[in-house]
């Protein structure tokens, strides 16, 4: 995201999409950040509640937090 792909991005995608000159509007990025934070909220997000019941919950949280960092 935002020119900072995740470490687990498959090589075929990295080589295909990384060279594309794309600078998203800051307003859009702010909206995406807000949406991601809403998804992480276990009090209001069914997805977060389902992940919370999973043994991989911490891994999911780490991945979503990594996404938020890369959006900045």
Number of neighbours of residue 39 by Cβ within 10 angstroms: 14
Tell me whether residue 11 is in a domain. no
Packing angle of the helix pair 26-40, 57-71 (nearest 10 deg) = 160
Full residue range of the structural domain in which residue 34 is found: 25-71
Given a contact cutoff of 8 angstroms between Cβ atoms, the answer to whether 24 and 70 are in contact is: no
* pLDDT tens digits, 20-72: 677 778 899 999 999 999 999 999 999 999 999 999 999 999 999 999 998 88
Give the ranges where 1-72 is alpha helix by DSSP (H).
11-17, 26-40, 46-52, 57-71
Tell me whether residue 47 is in a domain. yes
Tell me whether residue 37 is in a domain. yes
- According to the model, what pLDDT value does residue 16 have? 76
Tell me whether residue 58 is in a domain. yes
Given a contact cutoff of 8 angstroms between Cβ atoms, the answer to whether 40 and 61 are in contact is: yes
Provide the whole-model pTM: 0.73
Tell me whether residue 66 is in a domain. yes
Number of domains in the chain: 1
- According to the model, what pLDDT value does residue 60 have? 96
């Amino acid at each position: 995201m935002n020119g900072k792909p995740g470490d687990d991005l498959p090589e075929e995608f990295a080589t295909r999409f990384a060279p594309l000159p794309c600078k998203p509007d800051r307003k859009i990025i702010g909206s995406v950040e807000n949406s991601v934070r809403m998804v992480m909220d276990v009090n209001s997000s069914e997805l977060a509640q389902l992940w919370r019941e999973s043994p991989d919950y911490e891994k999911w949280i780490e991945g979503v937090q990594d996404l938020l960092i890369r959006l900045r």
